[in-house]
Structure 1
Amino acid sequence: MSRWSDLSPRNKSLIATSAVVDLVLKAVALKDLAGRPSDEIRGPKWAWALGVTFVNGMGIAPLTYLLLGRRRSENR
């Protein structure tokens, strides 16, 4: 197992960038989830919120919600 100090500057930058992208995706997904009515979401809101918040997978859970978890309404 490597220590942070053992990583190259390039690897440190990749890790930091990935973390920021993951946080932004989570924030966008949670904001959308909070403002969207339940009938426009596939599945329970609480399950999506837990998944988006706690599943650590490089943005996979927020992207899954944003691409597949929402129903499109005629008004949006």
Structure 2
Amino acid sequence: MSKKKSWKELSPTAKAAIVTVAAVDAGTRVWALRDLAGRQADEINGPKRAWVIGLSLGSTAGIAPAVYLLWGRKRRG
């Protein structure tokens, strides 16, 4: 098994990739949570509370917010 690398041991490219993924995750998470806050429960597929918990916990590399934005909300109009 290989030893985990510390931040100092990572290449500049690896560091940039990690920071980019974290920034995208944070941005999409804020977008999804703001959208969720502005919707009524009947405009959401599934329990609103479950979406809040799922979007609030941990880093998902943008996957959880993308799932919410694509499938978690019902289309308006």
TM-score by length of 2: 0.91
Preserved contact between residue 55 and residue 61 of structure 1 (Cα < 8 Å): no
Match of 1:24 in 2: 27
Structure 2: give runs of 5+ residues left out of the alignment: none
1:6 aligns with 2:17: no
Aligned length: 74
Q: CA RMSD in A?
A: 0.8
TM-score by length of 1: 0.93
Percent of aligned pairs sharing the same letter? 49
Structure 1: give runs of 5+ residues left out of the alignment: none
Runs of 4+ in 1 over 3 A off after TM superposition: none
In the aligned structure 2, how far is the partner of 1:9 from the partner of 1:22? 20
